[in-house]
Amino acid sequence: MTDRILATTPFLRLIDRDGWIFVERPNSTGVVTIIPLTPERRLLLVEQFRAPLGRKVIEFPAGLMGDEPGHENEDPVASARRELIEETGYEARDLEMVATTATSPGMANELVHFILAWNLVRVGAGGGVGGENIVVHEVPIADGRAWLREQEAKGLVIAAKVFAGLYFAEERWG
All structural domains of the chain with their residue ranges: 29-173
| Structure confidence by residue, pLDDT tens digits, 98-137 | 999 998 999 999 999 999 999 999 999 888 887 788 999 9
Residue 123 has a CB neighbour count (10 Å cut-off) of 12
Distance, in Å, from the CA atom of 126 to the CA atom of 136, rounded to the nearest integer, reads 8
Q: Whole-angstrom Cα distance, residue 83 to residue 34?
A: 8
| CATH number for the domain whose boundaries are 29-173 | 3.90.79.10
Separation between Cα atoms, residue 56 and residue 37, nearest integer Å: 22
Using CA atoms, how far residue 64 sits from 25, 75, 83, 110, 154, in Å, is 9, 11, 9, 10, 28
Q: How do strand 55-59 and strand 111-122 relate by DSSP bridges?
A: unpaired
- What confidence tens digit (pLDDT) does each residue in 32-84 have? 999 999 999 999 999 999 999 999 999 999 999 988 777 778 999 999 999 99
Q: Average pLDDT for residues 81-93, to the nearest whole number?
A: 96
pTM of the model: 0.93
Percentage of residues of the chain with pLDDT beyond 90: 83
